[in-house]
Amino acid sequence: MAFFVFNHHHIIAPTFNKTLTQSDWLITYIWRVKKDGRVDVIVKNLTKYYGRQKAVDNLSFEVKAGEVLGFLGPNGAGKTTTMKAIAGYLTPTDGTIRVGKYSVGENGDKVRQLIGYLPEHNPLYLDMCVVDYLRYMARLQKIRADKINDRILEMVNVCGLEGEKHKRIGELSKGYRQRVGLAQALIHDPQVLILDEPTTGLDPNQIVEIRELIRRIGREKTIILSSHILSEVEATCDRILIINKGRIVADGTAEQLRKAEQGGSMVVATIEDADRNDVVRTLQSIDGVELVDIVKDRPNTVEVHCGPGVQCNRDIFNACVENHWVLTELTSVETKLEDVFRELTK
C-alpha cells in the first residue's frame, strides 16, 4: 500500500513554486490557451425523435468562436438532447452539426477531440482515485504520453483539486466531483466546451468559483452551457438561447431579451399629499407615457409604463413640483430575466 502512495506522489511531483495561487495558475493556463485557434459551432435543422416523441424540433443556431452561449429552457425542453448531439453521443434523426471545419456525423472522432464535455449527471468511476481517473481520460483523448502528467498537474491546479487528488472519487463531495468532471472535460485543452448544468448541487461559494472559472476559460474558448438558474446564465454568458418544446423561442443578450419582452421601461413613483385620480390623470397626460397603474395595497404608489426609448423621470418630477405634490420615491424598474423566461416558455 505504501508503495502505491509513494508512486502517486512520484508521478506528479510538485516541482513548481508553492506560493503560486489558484488564480495564478488560471492566468498562465489561459495565456497558454490564447495561442490556439478558435472554433465555432453551427447547428442546422437539428431534429431528434425518441420513438414517436419529438425532443428537438428543427433547431438551428450558431455559436461564434470564443462565445459563451447560455442554454435556457424548462425541464424537457431539449437542452440536454441538443448538447448530447453536439458532443456526438446521440445520433440526430435529422440535421447537421459542424464544429469548426468538421461535421459531427462524418468526422466524429475529430470533433470529439475538439470538444470537452461535462454530461448532466456527471458520471464518474467512483472506485478510481482522481489522478488515475484523469490519467485514464487523458489516454482516451490520445494525449501524448510524455505530456499526460503535465496536463493532470495543470488540471488539478486549475480546478482546485490539490488536496483531493489521491482520494477515491466516491469519497468526494458533490462539489469536488463536479470539479473532477470539469477537469476531465478540460484535460485535452479542447477548443469547445459543452457543460450540461455545471453548477447543480454546488454550494453558493462553489457556484461562484465555478462560474468564475467558466468565465475566464470562456475568454478563449467556445462554450455552450445549460442551466436553469437564470442569474447564472446572465452572469456568465455572452448570449442566451431560450428553447421550449424543442424550438428556439428567444435568442440574444440578456439585455436584448429584456428589452424585447418589455418594449419600454417602467418607473415606480410614490407621490404623497395628492389626490389619486389627479395623479393618474396628470401623469397619463405626459408625452411618452403609455399607461399608469395604481399599485395594490399602496395607495400613494403608481407604476408608470413608458414607451420604447422614452425616459420620463424628469417629467414626473416636474409634474409633482407644479402641483405641489411630495415625491418620496422614484425608481426605474428593470424587467427581470425570470419574467422574460416565464413569458416565453408558458
Partner 1 sequence: MNVNLQILKKLHIAAMPVTTIAAQEFRSYFDSLMAYILLVLFLGFSGTFTWIYGSDIFIYGQASLQVFFSVAYVTLFLLIPALTMKSIAEELRTGTIEMLLTKPITCRQIVMGKYLAVMMLISTALALTLPYYITVAHLGNVDHGAVVCGYIGLLFMSSAYAGIGLFASSVTSNQIISFLTALAIGLLFHVAFGIVGHQFGGIVGQFCLGLDMNTHFDSMARGVIDSKDIVYFASITFIGLFAAGKSLESKIA
Residue 296 contacts residue 338 (beta carbons within 8 Å): no
139 lies in the binding site for partner 1 (CB under 8 A): yes
- Least distance (Å) between residue 84 CB and partner 1: 8
DSSP characters over 200-268:
TT--HHHHHHHHHHHHHHHTTSEEEEE-S-HHHHHHH-SEEEEEETTEEEEEE-HHHHHHHHHSS-EEE
DSSP 155: H
Kindly tell me which of 58 and 93 has the beta carbon lying closer to partner 1: 93
With cell 500500500, the residue in question is 1
What backbone torsions phi and psi does residue 22 show, to the nearest 5 degrees?
-65, -40
Q: Applying CB under 8 A, does 124 fall inside the site for partner 1?
A: yes
Identify residues 179-238 at the interface with partner 1 (CB under 8 A).
Answer: 184
Would you count residue 113 as binding partner 1 (CB under 8 A)?
yes
Work out how close the CB of 89 gets to partner 1 at its nearest, in angstroms, rounded to a whole number.
5
Cβ pair 71, 61 in contact under 8 A: no
For partner 1, the closer of residues 2 and 145 by Cβ is 145
Over the window 319 to 338, marking each residue x when it contacts partner 1 by CB under 8 A and - when it does not, the resulting string is --------------------
State how far the Cα of 161 lies from the Cα of 158, in Å rounded to an integer.
8
**Interface region with partner 1, contact rule CB under 8 A, candidates 6-14, 29-37, 138-146, 234-242:** 138-146
Residue 104 burial (CB count, 10 A):
23
Nearer to partner 1, 122 or 206 (CB): 122
Residue 87 touches partner 1, criterion: CB under 8 A: yes
Q: Is 51 in the site for partner 1 (CB under 8 A)?
A: no
Strand, coil or helix: what is 16? coil
Write down the least CB distance from residue 4 to partner 1, Å.
11
Note the residues at the interface with partner 1 (CB under 8 A): 84, 87-91, 108-110, 112-113, 115, 117, 119, 121, 123-128, 136-137, 139-142, 184
